[in-house]
Amino acid sequence: MINEKQQQVEVPVFVALDFAHAHEARELVQKLGEHHSHYKIGLQLYLAAGRAFVSELESEGKSIFLDLKFHDIPNTVHFAVAEAAKLGVDFVTIHAGGGKEMMKSAVEAAHHHSLPQHQTKVLAVTLLTSLHVNDLVQLGYMTTDLVKQVQRLTYLAQDCNVHGVVCSAHEVAAVKASTGLKTMVPGIRTSGDAKGDQARVATPEYAVQCGADYLVVGRPITQAANPVQALQELKALISGSQHETGEMNV
Ligand SMILES: O=C(O)c1cc(=O)[nH]c(=O)n1[C@@H]1O[C@H](COP(=O)(O)O)[C@@H](O)[C@H]1O
């Protein structure tokens, strides 16, 4: 069902800057202009351009989601999150599969090392949106129900006081029904977009109607012939769906 409150709330779209060079990312940010302020920096760009590029975008007033998906022993993750928090990023990711001690260490590090008045929020990745049911079997999970598995990891994440989880649109309603956690949702595709390596995709309208708090969109914008138009169209779909009433359409 549509969340009534959701109709009034703006859902930020984090554009995934999955590029090999800072200049490519900079060019896109300039094209999208001062009115777009949410960006995700992931493994590729961070390894290519590092902390300097994060700081560069922050100095332009951008909100940064640093998506390095930490998954290591608690001590290592603690100090990695501490460094991310000192950078002043808004969000950082860890894998829920790293376990409760690891998630607690991450939350504690964000709490202690964030800049004054700028709390870095920890998001726990549940099941990557590239995973299918068959992957659950191969990985030896006890269930082949993707929603149940996401919910299971979400409960663990909630116990560790993370801010939210990363999941596909198809699990948002279950996360929202059982916890108070925020949801960051990748795997966003409109009807004409190629799925690429994503398995659990959904339209932006569907994600928002399910209650997604933030969306992550990469290639449908970064690889578009006209990224500015692609982002505008996506935002129009989101705001249109926030004012719709009735049943969700997939
Ligand atoms: O943590 C993420 O952002 C993430 C989690 C996940 O389960 N799936 C997923 O696609 N992502 C990221 O979201 C972005 C999606 O990019 P596109 O598939 O190009 O829209 C990529 O930068 C991924 O690294």
Quote the pLDDT of residue 93.
99
CA of 8 to the centre of ligand 1 (A): 26
- Atom 15, ligand 1: which residue's CA is nearest? 218
Q: How far apart, in whole angstroms, are the C-alpha atoms of residue 195 and residue 187?
A: 8
- CA nearest to 18, candidates 240, 223, 237, 179: 223
pLDDT lower than 70: segments of the chain:
1-9, 242-250
CATH superfamily, region 5-240: Aldolase class I (3.20.20.70)
Tens digit of each residue's pLDDT (9 = 90 or more) over 190-241: 988 999 999 999 999 999 999 999 999 999 999 999 999 999 999 999 998 8
Q: How far apart, in whole angstroms, are the C-alpha atoms of residue 66 and residue 71?
A: 14
The pTM of this model reads 0.94
User: Which residue in 62, 67, 104, 193 is the catalytic one?
Assistant: 67
Please report, for the chain, the start and end positions of each structural domain, with discontinuous segments joined by +: 5-240
Work out which ligand 1 atom sits closest to the CA atom of 223.
19
- CA nearest to 103, candidates 169, 153, 40: 153
Tens digit of each residue's pLDDT (9 = 90 or more) over 88-98: 999 999 999 99
Q: How far apart, in whole angstroms, are the C-alpha atoms of residue 31 and residue 182?
A: 29
Quote the pLDDT of residue 10.
87
Residue 145, phi then psi, degrees to nearest 5: -95, 105
**Residues linked to residue 70 through DSSP beta bridges, in sequence order:** 94
CB 42 near ligand 1, within 6 Å: yes
